[in-house]
């Protein structure tokens, strides 16, 4: 076991990691939690090979999104991309980018029409 997440919604390091993780060339793992974090809206995290977890981004809900249900993908520059099931301009989820410094950019906010809404990962 590399890292054990707290089971309370108020855990700063995140709670309820439902999706898988990805690995970079240095052996770091990246993933999301659907809850916890500073606002209880989930986090994007990194766990290094020694098991030390770092919260890269804590979601706040609202326009910045919340409750990421899916994991992330990583581009060659180290930017991470993913979706949230809540938040965005219409409150119906969004697609985000986290740059290597942890800055979030909302790439797309779902509107609930033909573009869909609330992107979920179904097992």
The answer to whether the predicted template modeling score (pTM) of the entire model surpasses 0.85 is: yes
Distance CA 64, CA 112 (A): 17
Distance CA 35, CA 49 (A): 24
Distance CA 13, CA 19 (A): 16
- Classify strands 80-84 and 94-98 as parallel, antiparallel or unpaired: antiparallel
Residue-wise pLDDT for 53-106, tens only, equals: 999 999 999 999 999 999 999 999 999 999 999 999 889 999 999 998 889 999
**Domain locations in the chain as residue ranges:** 22-109
Q: Which pLDDT band, with edges at 50, 70 and 90, does 9 fall under?
A: low
pLDDT: which is higher, 8 or 69: 69
């Amino acid at each position: 076991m590399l890292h054990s997440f707290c089971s309370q919604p108020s855990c700063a390091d995140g709670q309820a990691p439902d999706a898988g993780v990805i690995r970079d060339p240095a052996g770091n793992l990246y993933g999301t939690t659907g809850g916890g974090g500073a606002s209880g809206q989930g986090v994007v995290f990194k766990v290094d090979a020694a098991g030390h977890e770092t919260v890269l981004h804590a979601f706040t809900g609202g326009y910045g999104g919340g409750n990421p249900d899916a994991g992330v993908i990583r581009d060659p520059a180290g930017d991470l991309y993913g979706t949230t099931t809540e938040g965005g301009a219409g409150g119906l989820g969004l697609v985000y980018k986290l740059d290597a410094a942890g800055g979030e950019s909302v790439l797309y906010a779902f509107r609930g029409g033909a573009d869909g809404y609330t992107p979920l990962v179904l097992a």
